[in-house]
Structure 1
Amino acid sequence: MANKIQFLAYYLPQFHPIPENDSWWGKGFTEWTNVTKAQPLFKGHNQPIMPGELGFYDLRIPEIQEQQALLAKSYGIDGFVYYQYWFGKGKMLLEKPAEAMLSNKNIDFPFCFCWANETWKGIWHGIHDPRVLIEQTYQGKEGYQAYFEYLLPFFQDKRYIKEQNKPVFHVYKLDDIPDIAVFVTTFNELAIQEGFDGIHLIATICSEAVLNSDFVYGKVGVDVFMKMRYSQKTMSLKNSIYLTLERKYNKITNSLYRKNKSIDERSKPLIFDYQKGVAKMNSSFTSLKHISCVFPNWDNTARTGKKAMIFINATPLSWKVHLQNTVNELLKNPHNPQIVIIKSWNEWAEGNYIEPDATYGRQWLEVVKSVKVNLLSR
C-alpha cells in the first residue's frame, strides 16, 4: 500500500561539545564551527550555509530535540536514524543526545540506530587533517555482547523502530566487520533471548557476497541501501557536469573522476549539477533487498574546503523531482522494503539537510510533506 511507505532520515548528533573534539579542534568545537567558517569557492557559491529557525542549536538543550521531532512529524518524516559511534572496548562518542532522547518521553517520535563503524580521520571531521583521530576496533563475541547490552534499553523502548518484532539496526560498513558471522549471530541470539524475534539488519554498504551469505540471509535478513552519492553507476558520471573554479563547464570523464575521487588527493572541488545528476540516477531495483536512498542537497565545503564535492542547483524544486521519482519507482516495486532513506536531517557541514535553513526556510520539509500527502491520497 502507498500509505505504508516510511520516510526515515539520518540524524547527526555532533551539535554539542565533547572532550575529544575540544582536544582535536579547540574548545567548544561542534558541527557549527566548520559551518560558520566556510568560504565560497566560486562566484554564486552559496557559502556559508546558515540554519533557519532552530538556529545554531546545542543538543544538550532538551527542547531542541523536542522541536526537531515535532517538525519532522508534522512534515511527514516517520523516524530518525541516529548515527551511533561505538569504537569497541566500551568507547563511544556523541552518544549523549540519543541517551537524553531515550529518557525524554516528550520526544514522541520513532527512531533507530545506524552504527557508523568507521575510523575517524581528520579530513572528514575537521579541516585538512589526514591523521587518524580514533580507530574503529572489534573485540569479537564479548565486544558484541557488551555493545548489545548498551543498545538493549533503546531496543526495548516503544519508540524504537522494529520490523516483525525485530529491532531495526543499520550498519554503515557491514563488510568491515572482520568476524561478521560472529557479530550477526551474537546480535540475533541476544535479541531472541530478550523476547524479540531476532535483529533486523540494514547495511548502508554491503558486498553481494555478504548480502547473500547463509548466516545473514537465513537468520536475520539484511536489506541494503541503494547508495546514491558515491556510486559511479547510479551517478552516470559520463553525463554529469564538472565545474572548475574558473567557471568553465566540462564533461567529466571516468579518468578525471578516478584522478580526483580520493579526497586526500583532490586539489580542487568536484562540482556536479544536482538537477542533471539526479535525473541520471538509476532508481530501479536490482534486488528485493534494496532500499531507496535520496539526498536533497550536498556541499561539504564547510568540512573539506577546496577538496569539496558540491552539487549546484540543489533547490527544493529539484529535490521534489528527485523524491517524487524515487517514490514512483518504489510504488512499482511493492515487494521491496517500503522505505525511503533521506540523507540527511541535519548534516550541516556536508550541506546535506532538510531542517529549515536561512535561504529556503521550511521548503525542504514542505517537499516531503507534499509527496507524503500525494501518497496518502492514492
Structure 2
Amino acid sequence: MGNKVEIIAFYLPQFHPMPDNDEWWGKGFTEWTNVGKAKALFKGHNQPRVPADLGYYDLRLPIVREQQVELAKEAGVTAFCYWHYWFGNGKRLMADIFNEVLKTGKPDFPFCLGWANHSWYAKNWNSDGTSTNKLLIEQIYPGIDDEKMHFAFLLKAFKDPRYVKIDNKPFLLIFDPISIPEEYIQNFKRWTEGAGFDGLYLVANITSPSISKKELLARGFDVVTYQRIGGMVSPQLHKLGKVGRGLFKIYQYAKGFILKRPPRMIDYSKYYHSLITEDDQCVDVIPSIVPQWDHTPRSGWNGSLWVNSTPYFFYKHVLEALDAIKNKPQNQQILLLKSWNEWGEGNYMEPDLKNGKGYIEALKKALKKGLE
C-alpha cells in the first residue's frame, strides 16, 4: 500500500435555517430539530445524540467550518464531498454554504461534489412500516439548456485548486446514477475535457443489489461505490426474491412487536464484515466506510438502525477496507466515508457526548496501522 490513502467524507451543508425548510416544516427548522427531539425507543438505545466539541452549530459561521476541518484532518480525512442539490432549471437547495466555501477560498481544505439528484418528499410513517409521501420538490432533467447552466456552475468548482482530481479529472459523485439521462453524462464529460481537464471522474452510487455495475460503467461512469447500509437491500435478502423479502419483512415486524424493539435493527459488531466485500478490491470500485447509523430521529419506529456500533468495531471495519485497496494503484487508493455530519441519520464522525472523539481516533489509529 502507498503512503497515503484518500479519505473523502460526505458532508451535509444543512445545519442552518433556510426559507424552504421554514415553509415546509416551520420557522427555524434545521437538521438539529429532529436530532434534538429524538427519543430512545428501547432500553439502551443511544438517543438523543448530543454534539460535544462543536455543539449545535450553525454552518453559516466560518469558524465552525474551520473547526470541522481541523477535526477532519486529525482523523485522517483528506477531503469533504459536499452534497450538491440541483433540481433542474437552476433550482438549488442548501446552496449558500458551498457558495461561501467557493467564494472565500476557505476553509483551505480539498473538496468535491456529490450531486444528490433525487426528489424530496415529506414522509408520514405508518404503523405497518409503509409510508405515504408528499412531494416537496421534484428532481427533473429539462435538457440542454439546463445541462449548460448546471455545467457552468460545476466548472467554477472544478477550476478551484482545492477540488479533488484523479489524474487531472474532477471527481463527481452521482447519488442516483440510474435516473440521470445519458445525455447529461456524455455532455458533462465532453465539456470537462473541453475546459482543459483530462476528463471527468464520474462515480456512481449503488444502493441496491439489483443495480448493475457493468451497465453503469457502460453508460460512462468510471467507478462505482456500494452503499450497504443493510436492511431490505442487503444482497442476502435480494436473493430471496420478492415473496421471500415480503415474508422476511413480516418476520421482522412480528419480532419487533414481541421484543418491543424497532424491527429494522442490525448488529454492527457482526454486520460490519458485510460492508466490505471482494468487489471492493476491484479498481473500478471505491469502498465505503460507515461508522454508525440510526435513522430513527427522522423516521421513528420504522427507521433502520445499527446497535453495537462502537469506535472499536469501526476501527476493525476500516482495517478491512484498507486491506481491500492495498493492491490498487496509488491513485485508486480511495475510501468514501459515509458520513462526516449526517446527525439526523446517526451517521457521523463528529464528537458527541457518548463517544467524544472516539470515531476520529479510531480512523486515525486504523490508518496508522493499515499504512505500516
**Do the two structures share a fold, i.e. TM-score over 0.5?**
yes
Could you tell me how far apart the structure 2 residues matched to 1:63 and 1:367 are? 25
Query: Is 1:327 matched up with 2:322?
Result: yes
Could you tell me how far apart the structure 2 residues matched to 1:356 and 1:348 are? 11
Contact persistence 1:236–1:281 (CA under 8 A): no
Give matches, 1:276-355, under 5 Å: 276-285=270-279, 287-334=282-329, 337-355=332-350
CA-based RMSD: 2.6
What residue is the counterpart of 2:147 in the other structure? 144
Aligned pair count reads: 351
How has the CA–CA distance of structure 1 residues 57 and 42 changed in structure 2, closer, same or farther, with 3 Å as cutoff? same
Contact persistence 2:267–2:308 (CA under 8 A): yes
Q: How far is the alpha carbon of 1:237 from its aligned partner? A: 5.7
Could you tell me how far apart the structure 1 residues matched to 2:178 and 2:124 are? 21
Could you tell me how far apart the structure 1 residues matched to 2:351 and 2:124 are? 24
Contact persistence 2:177–2:216 (CA under 8 A): no
Contact persistence 1:294–1:340 (CA under 8 A): yes
What residue is the counterpart of 1:371 in the other structure? 366
Give matches, 1:102-251, under 5 Å: 102-123=102-123, 130-177=133-180, 179-180=181-182, 182-205=183-206, 207-208=212-213, 210-213=215-218, 216=220, 221-230=221-230, 236=236
Could you tell me how far apart the structure 2 residues matched to 1:276 and 1:96 are? 40
Contact persistence 1:86–1:115 (CA under 8 A): yes
Contact persistence 1:289–1:336 (CA under 8 A): no
* Paired-residue identity, %: 39
Give matches, 1:43-122, under 5 Å: 43-122=43-122
Could you tell me how far apart the structure 1 residues matched to 2:334 and 2:91 are? 31
Q: How far is the alpha carbon of 1:318 from its aligned partner? A: 1.0
Could you tell me how far apart the structure 2 residues matched to 1:114 and 1:273 are? 29
Q: How far is the alpha carbon of 1:290 from its aligned partner? A: 1.1
Deviates more, 1:331-340 or 1:63-72: 331-340
Contact persistence 1:66–1:107 (CA under 8 A): yes
Could you tell me how far apart the structure 2 residues matched to 1:52 and 1:140 are? 45
Could you tell me how far apart the structure 2 residues matched to 1:64 and 1:323 are? 27
How has the CA–CA distance of structure 1 residues 326 and 6 changed in structure 2, closer, same or farther, with 3 Å as cutoff? same
Contact persistence 1:234–1:282 (CA under 8 A): no
Q: Which deviations, in whole Å up to 9, do the C-alpha atoms of 1:93-134 show, x marking residues without a partner?
A: 001111111123341111000000001111299xx7621111
How has the CA–CA distance of structure 1 residues 372 and 258 changed in structure 2, closer, same or farther, with 3 Å as cutoff? same
Counterpart of 2:112 in 1: which secondary structure?
Answer: strand
Could you tell me how far apart the structure 2 residues matched to 1:157 and 1:129 are? 42
Give unmatched runs, 5+ long, in structure 1: 239-252
Contact persistence 1:167–1:199 (CA under 8 A): yes
* TM-score (norm: length of structure 2): 0.87
How has the CA–CA distance of structure 1 residues 282 and 62 changed in structure 2, closer, same or farther, with 3 Å as cutoff? closer
Could you tell me how far apart the structure 2 residues matched to 1:235 and 1:209 are? 17
How has the CA–CA distance of structure 1 residues 209 and 139 changed in structure 2, closer, same or farther, with 3 Å as cutoff? farther
Deviates more, 1:156-165 or 1:323-332: 323-332
Q: How far is the alpha carbon of 1:279 from its aligned partner? A: 2.8
How has the CA–CA distance of structure 1 residues 270 and 142 changed in structure 2, closer, same or farther, with 3 Å as cutoff? same
Counterpart of 2:306 in 1: which secondary structure?
Answer: strand
Match for 2:59: what amino acid? Answer: L
Could you tell me how far apart the structure 2 residues matched to 1:261 and 1:348 are? 26
Q: Which deviations, in whole Å up to 9, do the C-alpha atoms of 1:172-228 show, x marking residues without a partner?
A: 111111x31x11221112112211122110011253353232x51xxxx52100222
Contact persistence 2:276–2:287 (CA under 8 A): no
Match for 2:121: what amino acid? Answer: K
What residue is the counterpart of 1:42 in the other structure? 42
Could you tell me how far apart the structure 1 residues matched to 2:124 and 2:9 are? 20
Could you tell me how far apart the structure 1 residues matched to 2:273 and 2:164 are? 31
How has the CA–CA distance of structure 1 residues 42 and 232 changed in structure 2, closer, same or farther, with 3 Å as cutoff? closer
What residue is the counterpart of 1:250 in the other structure? none
Counterpart of 2:85 in 1: which secondary structure?
Answer: strand
